[in-house]
Chains A and B, each alone.
Chain A
Amino acid sequence: MEALSLLQWLIDILIGVGLLWLAWRVLFSPELFKAIVLFIAFGLLMALAWVRLQAPDVALAEAAIGAGLTGALLLSAWMKLREESTQQFEQKRKRQIFVWLLAIPLLLIIVGLGYAISLLTPYPTGLSTAVAENIDASGVSNPVTAVLLNFRVYDTLLEVAVLFLALLGVWSLEIRESAIGSEPEPVLDVLTRVLTPLLVLVAAYLLWVGAHAPGGAFQAGSVLGAAGVLLILAGWRLPHRLAGLPLRITLVAGLSTFIAVAVLMILGGGRLLEFPSSQASQIILILEATATLSIATILAALFLTSRPSHSEKT
């Protein structure tokens, strides 16, 4: 027992030190490419830290989105940047004296924040008892999903809206598409044919299992989005007839279902997004399924950056 807790301590300290060291290397290593690869490693280590903090739902989201998709986005942006400008990425920093002078107030801020955190009551009861008491009425048994899709579904509605707005913003900038991935190699081609159904299966599983175990719409959506990114990288494109209206409908499906449910609940005499507990699990499943589809499509479209001109995407 003694040795086991010592080992756990060691793991926690290693993860903590590793996170800080990786963050330092990400931010101050001279090569940008190296920094991005290290950032992906940082995301994976963060996922480990979430597991150690008993937050497997967050770990799943971090591994799929924080490490996977953000890394893919950063790498593709880096590629486009390099294609565009021949200039070297010299790491221009501000004047040296300024850099050192700045470290002093920032160190004070960090120490102050650390002190403030050490003053907080550790393990406040928070809302976990309130969630545990009402979990039966929520329609699902995983407390995190219950919070995300019932108790605080308002947050999720706005989050889907934020994703959609980000995509509108990216599309309106009209970035030209990168030349990468237009000619798929045979190995990559075969691999995507095998991997894509597997990823779809994993996404469906995560979506279904989210009702009673770690998982849910965001995790499933990001896995499905990753499948889309993989297909884009391998050179697959959405056929013409799907790139117009069908694509747009999929993009807005999540948000519009949320709004439709909200309006229906008001018409039914309830309050905004207040589900009757007898039908809650069905409503949550519908919301989650459409949200998953929309999140996946939006994430893949964000990766592609340019608006599919009737001949691109997934």
Chain B
Amino acid sequence: MIIALLYALVGVGLFGLGLYSLIIHAHLLRKILALNIMGSGVFMVLVALAGGEGNMLDPVPAAMVITGIVVAVSATALALALMLKISAITGRAELNDEEGK
């Protein structure tokens, strides 16, 4: 039980680190990394708290996390392609937040 709590808290920590980095970094590749780490944190909380009695793991959250991992990789691929397009057009892999105002 304490092990599950330990991993769940690590998951929360990963989520927090990812969120912080997502906000403060300007570079888009770093933002994509941050989103991936946030996702890993969420998956970790889901699975850690789903561990059943003894050795049985609740298979429903496990299946959802597998689905989530695959969706995360496709979202990452799309995000990276968008980043490359932005950098090809503007010459910088960053979003411009000064000019848009």
Task: Note all chain A residues with C-beta closer than 8 A to B24.
Answer: 93-94, 98-99, 102
Task: Note all chain B residues with C-beta closer than 8 A to A35.
Answer: 30, 33
A273 → chain B, closest Cβ, in Å? 15
Interface residues of A in 168-186 (CB under 8 A from B): 169-170, 173, 175
Interface residues of B in 50-101 (CB under 8 A from A): 50-53, 55-67, 69-78, 80-85, 87-88, 91-94
B81 and A170 within 8 A (CB): yes
Asked if A205 is at the interface of the complex by the 8 Å CB criterion, the answer is: no
Binary interface encoding of chain A residues 282-314 relative to chain B, with 1 for a CB under 8 A from any of its CBs, else 0: 000000000000010011001101000000000
Report the bound CA distance from A85 to B13 in whole Å: 34
Asked if A191 is at the interface of the complex by the 8 Å CB criterion, the answer is: no
Task: Note all chain A residues with C-beta closer than 8 A to B85.
Answer: 173, 175
B6 and A162 within 8 A (CB): no
Instruction: Known contacts A92-B94, A94-B24; decide if A166 and B7 are in contact (CB<8 Å).
Output: no
Asked if A70 is at the interface of the complex by the 8 Å CB criterion, the answer is: yes
Q: Which of B67, B76, B78, B94 contacts A148 (CB 8 A)?
A: B67
A152 and B69 within 8 A (CB): no
Task: Note all chain A residues with C-beta closer than 8 A to B75.
Answer: 166
Instruction: Known contacts A85-B87, A144-B62, A166-B77; decide if A123 and B25 are in contact (CB<8 Å).
Output: no
Number of A-B pairs whose CB atoms are under 8 Å?
Answer: 258
Q: Number of contacting residues on A, CB 8 A?
A: 95
B66 and A57 within 8 A (CB): yes
A12 and B6 within 8 A (CB): yes
Counting contact residues on chain B (CB < 8 A from A), the size range is 35 or more
A58 and B84 within 8 A (CB): no
A20 → chain B, closest Cβ, in Å? 5
A53 and B91 within 8 A (CB): no
Binary interface encoding of chain A residues 5-20 relative to chain B, with 1 for a CB under 8 A from any of its CBs, else 0: 0000100110010011
The 23 sampled A-B contact pairs (Cβ below 8 Å) are A13-B6, A20-B17, A23-B14, A26-B33, A27-B21, A50-B47, A53-B4, A53-B48, A73-B80, A77-B83, A87-B91, A94-B23, A117-B5, A118-B9, A120-B49, A123-B53, A128-B59, A147-B62, A159-B71, A166-B78, A173-B81, A218-B70, A305-B81
Give me the 5 closest cross-chain CB pairs, A-B, nearest first.
Answer: A166-B74, A143-B59, A27-B21, A110-B16, A126-B58
